[in-house]
Amino acid sequence: MSEAAQLIEQIGKRARAASRKVAWLDGEVKDNALRAMADVLLAKRVHLQNENAKDLEAGRANGLTSAMLDRLTLSDKVIEGMAEGIRQIAALPDPIGEITGVKRRPNGIRVGHMRVPLGVIGIIYESRPNVTADAAALAVKSGNAVILRGGSEAIHSNRAIAACLAEGLAMAGAPADAVQVVETTDRAAVGALLRADKYVDIIIPRGGKSLIQRVMEDATIPVIKHLDGVCHAYVDEHADLHMAEEIICNGKMQRTGVCNALETILIHQDVATTFLPAMAKRLHTGGCALRVCPRSAEAIGEAAPTQPATEADWEAEYLDAILAVRVVDSMDDAMDHIDQYGSRHTEVIITKDYAASQRFLRQVDAAAVMVNASSRFNDGFQFGLGAEMGISTDKLHVRGPVGLEGLTCQKWIVLGDGQVRS
């Protein structure tokens, strides 16, 4: 067994043992532990920043961009933000132990569900060290143990943050091993973690597409992930066109580098010439480039510069101020386009027509389907989950923002009085 595999096995065994303890801590103990974790982070600010300085120095030596160094920096504000984030998670209701749907069967046994933790969660993430605190807090609140593997460029910072979190856990009488960081930059450790199915129940990768693809390929453990966010807005023939303009501008331009931003808009042919010129002009003025189908080009005319869209544009997740535009014959054509090119993340219809709204809601397959609202709302805070561990475009277990409940499962419980099967 390689050194990395041995390390992961040790960490995994400790996590598994801790998970059995943290699973049934009283909510009060978990919340005290979370608040202690926040307190220790604030108390050790200087130490955290000293450790962070080592990562920043190595990062500069290794030629990280200033944006990357920025994300890596544990400023006072970032540390205060981590502590505040943990306190907010402590204030959420405890999801564990909820019993639902108990029904009495003809023979008198009562059968229902109890919500329980998943067990051990492995998180693999990239440069932002504040994910360490955030992910650990969500895992502990939902009764899980967590193994964190951050980017090697943040190793000192992550290690120092995890030590603070473990100290907070121990102060509250919770098992310190419920939060562990993989303390090596050996890349083989990631591979070992992805195959540690004896100890780890689920892997959540947080980061760019190449990270997520590697995790998908190598993991023998179930993965909660999203790979692409190719999100569409469809402007129906009966849309409020002013509303459509606002929703599209917001969806594309409010923040371009995020997975719930719009990448393509689909316009019903009957409103193309009314809608597209002003829309295109506004997007262009806002700095957005347009990749358009022939009919869109014709409708837009001289209102804004455009480039012809190619097949690759319909599949593109630009993560940038670029928007693909296509005119469609009907809502069915729009839904076919979405089915073919969408990534099942977030899909929006703008319409005043009741029947169209209901049919789009029902028939479009995505983690979130919206009527007359911005795609940017597909987010744990916006949906009222309080916080999110990530977002899922898979169909199994959890779709969309993964909040506390997404880190749990339900087991069956049976309450009998001696019944046997005849």
* Contact by Cβ (8 Å): 312, 288: no
Residue 109 sits in the site that holds a copy of itself (CB under 8 A): yes
Residue 352 sits in the site that holds a copy of itself (CB under 8 A): no
| Sole window of 19-27, 72-80, 133-141, 279-287 interacting with a copy of itself (rule: CB under 8 A) | 19-27
Residue 370 sits in the site that holds a copy of itself (CB under 8 A): yes
Judged by beta carbon, residue 57 or residue 415, the one nearer a copy of itself is: 415
| Letter string b/e over residues 281-300, b meaning 16 or more CB atoms within 10 A of that residue's CB | ebbbeeebbbbbbebbbebb
| Sole window of 182-190, 241-249, 289-297, 320-328 interacting with a copy of itself (rule: CB under 8 A) | 241-249
Angle of helix 354-363 versus helix 331-341 axis, rounded to 10: 20
Of the candidate residues 88, 152, 269, 372, the single one contacting a copy of itself (CB under 8 A): 372
Residue 377 sits in the site that holds a copy of itself (CB under 8 A): yes
- Tell me the HSE value of 244 on the side-chain side, using a 13 A CA sphere: 26
| Sole window of 5-13, 38-46, 157-165, 394-402 interacting with a copy of itself (rule: CB under 8 A) | 394-402
Residue 252 sits in the site that holds a copy of itself (CB under 8 A): no
Residue 417 sits in the site that holds a copy of itself (CB under 8 A): yes
Q: Find, among 373, 384, 381, the residue nearest to 240 by Cα.
A: 373
**61 C-beta neighbours (distance < 10 Å), count:** 8
Residue 382's contacts (CB-CB under 8 Å, 6 or more residues apart) are: 376
State the minimum distance, in angstroms, from the CB of residue 262 to a copy of itself: 12
Q: Find, among 403, 383, 385, 262, the residue nearest to 321 by Cα.
A: 262
Distance CA 169, CA 35 (A): 9
Residue 202 sits in the site that holds a copy of itself (CB under 8 A): yes
Which parts of 97-256 fold into alpha helices (H)? 130-141, 155-171, 188-194, 209-218, 241-253
Residue 270 sits in the site that holds a copy of itself (CB under 8 A): no
Judged by beta carbon, residue 58 or residue 278, the one nearer a copy of itself is: 278
Judged by beta carbon, residue 181 or residue 224, the one nearer a copy of itself is: 224
Under DSSP, the state recorded for 2 is: -
Q: What's at 39, amino acid-wise? A: D
Of the candidate residues 24, 26, 308, 330, the single one contacting a copy of itself (CB under 8 A): 24
| Sole window of 6-14, 152-160, 163-171, 377-385 interacting with a copy of itself (rule: CB under 8 A) | 377-385
Under DSSP, the state recorded for 398 is: -
Q: Is residue 270 classed exposed, middle or buried when 0-12, 13-18 and 19+ CB atoms within 10 A define those classes?
A: middle
| Sole window of 168-176, 265-273, 322-330, 371-379 interacting with a copy of itself (rule: CB under 8 A) | 371-379
Distance CA 268, CA 275 (A): 10
Torsion of CA 113, 381, 40, 52, to 10 degrees: 120
Residue 88 sits in the site that holds a copy of itself (CB under 8 A): no
* Contact by Cβ (8 Å): 64, 48: no
Judged by beta carbon, residue 116 or residue 387, the one nearer a copy of itself is: 116
| Residue found under tokens 């909040």 | 403
Residue 118 sits in the site that holds a copy of itself (CB under 8 A): yes
Under DSSP, the state recorded for 238 is: T
Residue 240 sits in the site that holds a copy of itself (CB under 8 A): yes
Both tokens of 351, joined, read: 């319409």
Residue 315 sits in the site that holds a copy of itself (CB under 8 A): no
* Contact by Cβ (8 Å): 222, 337: no
* Contact by Cβ (8 Å): 101, 112: yes
Residue 75 sits in the site that holds a copy of itself (CB under 8 A): no
Of the candidate residues 279, 291, 378, 403, the single one contacting a copy of itself (CB under 8 A): 378
Judged by beta carbon, residue 83 or residue 223, the one nearer a copy of itself is: 223
State the minimum distance, in angstroms, from the CB of residue 305 to a copy of itself: 25
Residue 243 sits in the site that holds a copy of itself (CB under 8 A): yes
Quick note: the x/- pattern for a copy of itself over 155-194, rule CB under 8 A, is: ----------------------------------------
- The residues of the shown chain that bind a copy of itself, judged by CB under 8 A, are 20, 23-24, 97, 103, 105, 109, 111, 114, 116, 118-119, 201-202, 222, 240, 243, 246-247, 249-251, 254, 339, 361-363, 365-374, 376-378, 382-384, 394-397, 399-400, 409-421
